[in-house]
Structures are given as C-alpha cells and as structure tokens.
Chain A
Amino acid sequence: MSNEQDIYEEHVLDHYEDPYHRGELDKATHSHEADNPLCGDVVHIDLKIDSEDKIQEAWFSGDGCVISQASASMLIETVEGKSLDEVRNFTAEQMLGLFGPKLTPNRQKCCLLSWRVLQSAIHSPVDDLPPDDDGGPDVHFGGPSLGEES
C-alpha cells in the first residue's frame, strides 16, 4: 500500500540515541552555532583545525528534532580527518545523501542545519567575533517554513 520510505529508519534512530561526539570541545579552534527559529532546532559545532588545515576533532551539541540531531551526528562522524577544502566542497545535496531517507522540502531544513553550521564554523575562529550572518552559504531549499501556521 505504501511506497513511502521510513524517515526514521534504524540508522537514523541509532544516531539520535547514541550520537557521535555529542558535547563541547575544550580546546576548539573554530566554533559556530545556529538555529531554525521557526522550529526551535539548535546546533552548535566545535572544531579543532590543525596547522595543515585538517579537521582533527569535531564535536556538536544542540537540541531539536530527530532529523536535525541525527544528521548532525552523522556529519560530525564524517568530517573528522577531512581537509577544509573537502568540507567546502561537501555540498548540501551530499549532506542529504549522507542522511539517507528522502526528505520533504520542509524537513530538508532540519537536516541541513548542521551542514550550514559546519560551513560557517570553518570560517569562525573562536577568538574572533562571530560573523553577523549566521546562515552560512545562502542556499534555500523547498517551500515555506514549518511552524508558521494558523
């Protein structure tokens, strides 16, 4: 009767309940945080970037729906050991692919929150003031936002 894929497949729920590197990084060199104000999802990412522009260590914290938090865990797990160039070349489409189950445009925003935060974090050394723009690359997916409704 259904050809709908289960968004909350086992792999997603596993990451939600047993996330990779959930917490703060004491000696972070780079860090950023952003939210989706209409649904209240928040993701904070701490990075330790070495002298060769490689991500030595990555941690995340935050609050929100299964998709926003599980996708952040998957991203953090993937990104360690990668070079900054590799991170910059990691597209939104690849992020959606990493998550797995196909998402409707509204839920893609949840999945891309951590990706946006990561793209900003690599440009946000901890000693500097955070950039004005919390948005990272200005990529828009899908239709109207969740949450603003009657």
Chain B
Amino acid sequence: MKTIPTLSTCTPLNDSELADLRDQFPILSRSTASGAPLAFLDNAASTQRPVCVIDAMSDCYQQYYANVHRGIHTLSEESTEAYEQSRKVIASFINAASEREVIFTSGATASINLVARTWGDQNLREGDVILTTIAEHHANIVPWHQLCERTGCRVEFLPLKKDFTFDDETVHQKLRELRPKLFAFTAVSNVLGTITPVKKWVHWARELGITTLVDASQAAPHQPLDVEQLDTDFLVFGGHKMCGPTGIGVLHGKENYLDSMPPFLGGGGMINRVSVDGFETADLPDKFEAGTPPIAEAIGLAAAAKFLRQIGLDRIAAHEKQLAQVADEGLRLIEGIEVIGPSMSHKSGIVSFSIDRVHAHDIAQELDHLGLAVRAGHHCTMPLHRHLKKSSTTRASFYLYNRLEEAHRFLEAVQQVQKKFTPSGRKRSSRPQD
C-alpha cells in the first residue's frame, strides 16, 4: 500500500473547492429528523453519490439501456460498449494488468464468497489453514468458516497489539509456522481504521507460496490502489463505499488464478456453448458473470471512479485524515472517552470510540438528534469486539465532502452527549400526569 501522503506532499482541498464539491452531493444539504443540519459521518458504512454518478445511471436508463452482449441492435450494442468501457475504467483505477482480471460482482461480500466457493473449494483440504486477522469484517470471516465446514480446513486469527496495530514479526512468524494456504486480510480496518502494510505482507506470503486475498473495501474509496505493485492474488471492494451505486462490487484476480478456477454461478453469459450433455465455460471475465450483470451499476461505478480520480485519491486521503485527526486528538483529551484505534500515523479517516458507562446506541441516537450521522454497534466485527472486550463502539468516519467545521461540531456534540448521560443525582418519581 502506498503511504498516505501528508498535506505537504499534495495540495489540500481548499474551501471553495470543497464548497463546489459538496454542491455535487445534493443529499448533504438536508437536515435530520430533529431539524438539525446533517453532518454525514457514516461513510465507512456507505458513502453518498455525486450528481455525476446518478446522471450516468439515469442517462443509461433514459437513453440507451438494453441487455448487454449478443444483442444485435443499437441499444444493446451501446449498453455493451458502456458496460465494457466501465470495466476498463475500473481496471485502470486499480492498475490491473488487463480488464480480463476485473470481475463485476454484487459487492465485496459476493467477491469474497466467489473466491471461497471456487478457488477455496478447489484448493483447501482437511487440516489446511487460512490465516486472517482479528480485525476483519464478517464478510472476510464467515465465507472462510463456511469453507471450513465444507472441507475441514481451519481459520487462524492474527491478534492485535495494545496500540491497535499488528506486529509484523508475528505476522511473518505465523506465515512461516502455519504455512497457510490463504492469507486473507483487510487493507484498512472498518472499525479501528488501522492501515495494514499490504505490500509487505503480500511479499512475505509470495515468498512462501501462500495465496493472498485483500479486502480493500475501506481502502479503494480513500487511497490510490495499484494491484500490480501490491502483487495481490485477489483484491475485492464494493461500489457503494466509493460514491458508486449499491449492488456492485469488484473482484480483481490474477489472470492465472481466475483461469484455473472453476466457474461459480452457472447460467447465461458464463458459457460458450451448452448441450444436453454439459457446457463449455466462457473466457474471462464472462466466466464469472452468470446472468444479466449489474449494467447501470457498473456504469455508475465507473463514473464514481473517474470522479474520485479527478479530485485525486492522494488529496482525498489527506483531506479526510486532516478531519479525522481533529476528531481523534480531540477525543483523546476528554476524560472518560476511549478512542478505539491507533494513533493517526497508522490509520485512515475512521475514528471509533466509547464513552465510559454510556451505551453506543444512546450515543448515536443523541448525536443524530444533534444532526450527526454516526454508526454504533459491532460494525460487523463481532470477533474484534470480543477481542477488545467491548459489546459495541461508536464510529465516525470522514470522507472527501466533510468539512473541518463538522469535525469540530462532532467533538462538541460528543461532549454534550457525555454530559447528558453522566449521573447527576436524579431521583425517580411517578410519571407526571398530563
């Protein structure tokens, strides 16, 4: 993974640029149920879409939509051209060697399941090991548990250090000791924000002949990705966390891997020919895209990728990091509040925290009342929360359209919430009759 540049190495988003940028997200000007102006800090769950993404999908439906591939008519040819052009845009977005390595799926979860059900079933046997980290999203745990149930292999988890980062030495040692068949890990933790050293870990795995899968769901929207440089065997991400539509995700796989794997879903589109006796699988990437694909979604995702590129992924990373730093460092100064994550030098724009003796859902509810959208719960990381001995946490996650003012508003609101729920000698009485 490239190091996230500091503000000194790229031009920050200036105020007028940020104002123009926010204008492209009409949803940001609404208010919450309480009437407070919205500060949207739930971007690690899903981001908002700019008008150019909505327009790209709307244009598709209004002007040239038809099913792709094999349609011998104008609309189908135009749709096919736009769909395959989108694949080229995504291939370039992650610097894939070829667009045959880019498979459109319904999301990052579907991408991981595809690998588990094809490569996993083909290559894992009883006693084999899958190595992952304790900080994974359920999407990068459950498909492996399911694979264990089918094959008798097992999953091992890398622990976190006290500072919420991973010990490189332990990682290297576990790779040598356990000789896992697969090393599946997140590029950025969706709770801690911890950035893992993808390039280094993949390199170690490569030297030992271990296959790698990287969950880039929290990385693709926020920093430049180069799969050639990272050398991952599989890398996955979804569309809706990077200003794109829901219902679409990407599986990048090295061509030799994808070629050697059996197809996943069977149906139209993934075959060259079918007879009463059997079928012949289509070439990449069609082999893994059975059924009518998410056409307008792919077109929307390409528009999102172009939009992010135009602003500059480096600059987006620097911008959100600047805001997260204000929130992170501010929270650390407040007594009774614990930041669940490493220091800013090791993390992205995600700031999770807990307040002593206040439940995360009460925090989120009250922040919503004050206009701030955050997420509370276990964030699809139950093993991580158990590891941290927390039932739930509250998470603020920043993106390119957030303003410095919102980070300050967040800090003030958290203190208001803390005060509201701090015991103050209240006495219960019967409910006042009205």
Residues in B372-424 with C-beta less than 8 Å from chain A: 375-380, 391-392, 420-421, 423-424
Inter-chain CA distance A50–B235, complex, in Å, is 64
- The smallest C-beta distance from B189 to any residue of chain A, in angstroms, reads 13
Q: Which residues of A contact B (CB under 8 A)?
A: 1-2, 4, 6-8, 10-11, 13-20, 38-41, 63-67, 73, 100, 107, 110, 146-150
Given A39-B392, A150-B241, also A15-B428 (CB < 8 A): yes
Contact of B391 among A1, A2, A40, A66 (CB under 8 A): A40
**Contact (Cβ within 8 A) A150 B369:** no
A148 touches B35 (CB 8 A): no
Which residues of chain B are near A147, meaning CB under 8 Å? Answer: 376-378, 392
Chain A CB within 8 A of B321 CB: no
The 3 closest A-B pairs by CB, nearest first: A40-B391, A147-B377, A1-B35
- What secondary structure prevails in chain B residues at the interface with A? loop
Which residue of chain B has its CB nearest to the CB of A106?
B361
A82 CA to B270 CA in the complex, in Å?
66
Q: Which of B's residues lie within 8 Å of A, judged by CB?
A: 33-36, 44-46, 137, 190, 217, 241, 359, 361-362, 365-366, 369, 375-380, 391-392, 420-421, 423-429, 431-432
Residues of A within 8 A of B359 (CB): 39-41, 64-66
Given contacts A2-B34, A149-B45, contact A17 B423 (CB under 8 A): yes
For the complex formed, measure the closest distance between the CB of A106 and the CB atoms of chain B, giving whole angstroms. 9
Q: Which residues in A have their C-beta under 8 angstroms from that of B362? A: 8, 65-67
Which B residues lie within 8 Å of A2 (CB)? 33-36
B186, chain A: closest CB distance, angstroms: 12
Cβ of A39 and Cβ of B375 under 8 Å apart?
Answer: no
**A148-B369 in contact (CB<8A):** no
- Given A38-B378, A150-B46, A4–B34 Cβ distance below 8 Å? yes
Query: Smallest CB-CB separation from B46: which chain A residue?
Result: A150
Closest-CB distance, A111 to chain B (whole angstroms): 12
Q: How far is the CA of A20 from the CA of B130 in the complex (A)?
A: 50
Known interface pairs A11-B431, A13-B421, A150-B379; 11 further A-B residue pairs with C-beta atoms within 8 A, sorted by A's residue number: A1-B35, A2-B35, A15-B428, A17-B426, A17-B428, A18-B427, A107-B361, A146-B377, A147-B392, A149-B377, A150-B241
B190 touches A20 (CB 8 A): no
A11 — which chain B residues lie within 8 A by C-beta? Answer: 429, 431-432
Docked Cα-Cα span, A27 to B34, in Å, equals 46
Which residue from chain A places its CB closest to the CB of B359 in the assembled complex? A65
Measured CB to CB, the closest approach of chain A to B349, in angstroms, equals 15
Given A4-B34, A40-B392, A150-B45, are A19 and B428 neighbors across the interface (CB < 8 Å)? yes
Q: In the complex, A120 Cα to B65 Cα: how many Å?
A: 55
Chain B residue nearest to A3 in the complex (CB): B35
Closest to A145 in B: B377
Q: How far is the CA of A1 from the CA of B45 in the complex (A)?
A: 28
Chain A residues contacting B190 (CB-CB under 8 Å) are 150
* A contact residues around B425 at 8 Å (CB): 17
Given contacts A148-B380, A150-B241, contact A8 B426 (CB under 8 A): no
Q: What residues on A are CB-neighbors of B378 within 8 Å?
A: 38, 40, 147-148
* Chain B residues with CB below 8 A from A150, complex form: 44-46, 137, 190, 217, 241, 379-380
12 residue pairs of the A-B complex, CB under 8 angstroms, read: A4-B34, A4-B35, A8-B362, A8-B421, A20-B428, A39-B392, A40-B391, A100-B431, A147-B378, A148-B378, A150-B45, A150-B241
Whether B375 contacts A149 by the Cβ 8 Å rule is yes
